[in-house]
Amino acid sequence: MECQNARSLIPSYLDGELTQAQAGPLRQHLLDCQPCRGSAQDGKNLKRWFAASEPVAVPAGFAARVARRALQGDTGEFPPSLAAPRAEEERGRMLRFVLTCTAAAAALLFVLSLGMRQLALPHSDRMLADSSPQLSRAIQELDRLNAAERKQKRAELDAVKTKPKAGPDAPLESGKKP
């Protein structure tokens, strides 16, 4: 059996509509062919979603009423005069529901934002930095280092100002002129 023929028979096989003469070759093909076996398994899994429920009890005289209405020309549709108000009423209810949910969400966000703002604000009139001993020591050390750096720069500037100019008339270190 070819795959194309087998795949066309798989839905009927899964529904139990094939005779033993038709199902036998298909079963053999499914054992031999992995792609077709996968296709049959997919169909079987899909069928599980649509499992048959318990039979529905049909009221007495149902068939006769349907036949009578069909013979009278009833199409089974709601007259436009009855269908439109129901649709409008349903649309209005849905719109009220959406607007109510939106208003509730906006109110909740407003309350949450106010709460978060209150948490972020300071709780006293005085804005003080942490006055721990470590902070005080760090500030003193930084002041000492800054003072030492300023002193060193002044010394370098003084050394540059007092250094003699090197020119053709300037004496050499040995005291001789060139």
Express each pLDDT in 15-44 by its tens digit: 888 889 988 999 999 999 999 999 999 988
What the block records as the tokens of 81 is 């005069």
Express each pLDDT in 130-174 by its tens digit: 566 777 788 889 999 999 999 999 998 888 888 766 555 555 555
Q: How far apart are CA 10 and CA 41, in angstroms?
A: 10
Whether the full predicted model's pTM is greater than 0.85, yes or no, is no
Express each pLDDT in 67-92 by its tens digit: 888 888 877 776 666 556 677 788 88
Q: Looking at this protein, which amino acid is placed at residue 127?
A: M
Q: Which residues contact 112 (CB under 8 A, 6 or more apart)?
A: none
Helices 3-15 and 20-32, axial angle in degrees (round to 10): 120
Q: How far apart are CA 34 and CA 6, in angstroms?
A: 12
